[in-house]
Amino acid sequence: MHRALVHLDEPYTHNAVIKALQRSKLEFDICDAIAEDNSEADLISAPNPIALQWLEYELINWSLLAAKEETTMANAYCIRKGLIRKAQFSYNVSKYLSKNPESILKQAIPETWQFELDHIDYIDEALNEVFEVERDLKENELSGTQKHVFIIKPSMANKAAGIHVFDSLKQLCAIFEEPESDDEQSDSGYDEDDDDDDDQEDLSQVREWVIQRYISNPLLVNNHKFHIRAYVLAISNIQVYIYRDMLALFALRPYDLTKLSDPLAHISNTCIQTNQADFDEDQSVRLFWELNKSGIQDQDLEGMFSQMQAILADVFDACTSEMTTLQAIPNSFELFGVDFLVDADHKVYFLETNAFPDFKQTGSKLQHVVQELFDATVQTAIEPFFGDRTPEQHPKLTKVFDKKLLSLQR
């Protein structure tokens, strides 16, 4: 019998995790109550210590994980900012491409600039650091055409917070002149390691952003833009799998390049749609493989899936090469939400990686997708750790990366 401590804030996810552990061929004594008076010493020295922690990031007891590395496991890596923070990831990819110029990432990641701004008064100096962006925006103004379009994203925020599409310097400056509304603030579990950030940080205080060339010719279905949410499982030190059942998340309104200020036409995260009167979960959240019912050929879907696998392999190769920003310890696993975009030529672009993704956006109709993902995680990551150490290959998990890394644990 293995003691498992499970506590996730979202009931949708919490209940699915418990059900997956209950279905395991191993026996788990599951506790979902976090005791406030439990000290680290008590947890480490207890006669029957916690073997599995499946918790919100900030609740994980890292001392227990380090002290009992052969017998305890947790559902996150302590340090992975090089993968999930947009600016840090961009730096890692640039460094990787300098050594691996033939990597698929050269074409699969939109041209990206790191943008730092302390105050709107210093925007001219900040633009000097991204002179290509300023040059192209001025070309738009001089030509009177929309030749260059960009998207800006806060390095740390998620759920579409602070994302803007723009094609002029005036629009870019306006982003920093107007404070963000309350519903555009981050509430992700991104915090990590020794420089944790406040989850509820006001985006008006954000100093670090990335600017990317906007993919202005996305593949459309019924004139609506969509992105692909793939679930990726990273195990130990390190094997990486992509889960075959992926989501296609659709923008609420028809795609229109003349309406860059309308997030509902350009941003396909469902979290910004749910308060809209015309939100329809069945239309906004669909299964990727069922896009064949909307005119996309099966062979094209398979081709996109193959591109995603190749992209993920190099993404993790790039990030795991930087041990100070991604440390894949042997007794951890983590589920990431990875977003991809496909253009009209069926070329796949990598957008970002999300730690502790919002599984609830899968919705009620497709809840079985998340449940089977957690079942597969228990089978592939957890049972081998506590059992015979021989993972069973789940039919819906495809391995994309396998590399033995130097462990920093003692």
- The torsion region of residue 38 among left (phi > 0), alpha (psi -120 to 50) and beta comes to beta
Residue 331 sits in the same domain as residue 398: yes
Give me the pLDDT at residue 277, please: 84
pLDDT in tens, 318-328: 999 998 999 99
Residue 355 sits in the same domain as residue 308: yes
Residue 226 sits in the same domain as residue 271: yes
Q: What is the span of the domain harbouring residue 401?
A: 77-105+217-410
pLDDT in tens, 75-110: 999 999 999 999 999 999 999 999 999 999 999 999
Q: Which of 184, 214, 244 is the last residue of a domain?
A: 214
Total structural domains within the chain: 3
Give me the pLDDT at residue 200, please: 39
3-state secondary structure 44-69: HHCCCCCCEEEECHHHCCHHHHHHCC
Distances (CA, A) of 323 to 18, 77, 110, 233, 329: 32, 12, 24, 19, 11
Give me the pLDDT at residue 194, please: 42
Residue 64 sits in the same domain as residue 131: no
Residue 97 sits in the same domain as residue 63: no
Residue 302 sits in the same domain as residue 225: yes
Residue 116 sits in the same domain as residue 162: yes
Q: Which of 19, 52, 74 is the last residue of a domain?
A: 74
Q: How far is it between the farthest Cα atoms of the chain?
A: 74
Per-residue pLDDT of the chain (410 residues; tens, 9 = 90+): 899 999 999 999 999 999 999 999 999 999 988 765 444 545 555 557 899 999 999 999 999 999 999 999 999 999 999 999 999 999 999 999 999 999 999 999 999 999 998 888 889 999 999 999 999 999 999 998 889 999 999 988 766 678 999 999 999 999 888 555 544 443 333 344 444 444 334 555 668 999 999 999 999 999 999 999 999 999 999 999 999 999 999 999 999 999 999 999 999 888 888 788 888 888 899 999 999 999 999 999 999 999 999 999 999 999 999 989 999 999 999 999 999 999 999 999 999 999 999 998 787 888 999 999 999 999 999 999 998 666 677 999 999 999 998 765 44
Residue 47 sits in the same domain as residue 82: no
Give me the pLDDT at residue 185, please: 40
The answer, yes or no, to whether the previous bond of 235 is cis (omega within 30 of 0) is no
Residues 6+ positions from 16 with CB-CB distance below 8 Å:
359, 367, 370, 371, 374
Give the gyration radius of the chain's Cα atoms.
22
Q: Which of 214, 237, 262 is the last residue of a domain?
A: 214
Residue 207 sits in the same domain as residue 157: yes
Residue 63 sits in the same domain as residue 134: no
Residue 252 sits in the same domain as residue 331: yes
Give me the pLDDT at residue 377, please: 97
Residue 188 sits in the same domain as residue 309: no
What are the residues facing 239 on neighbouring strands? 235, 402
**CATH code for position 238:** 3.30.470.20
DSSP E strand boundaries for 171-214: 208-213
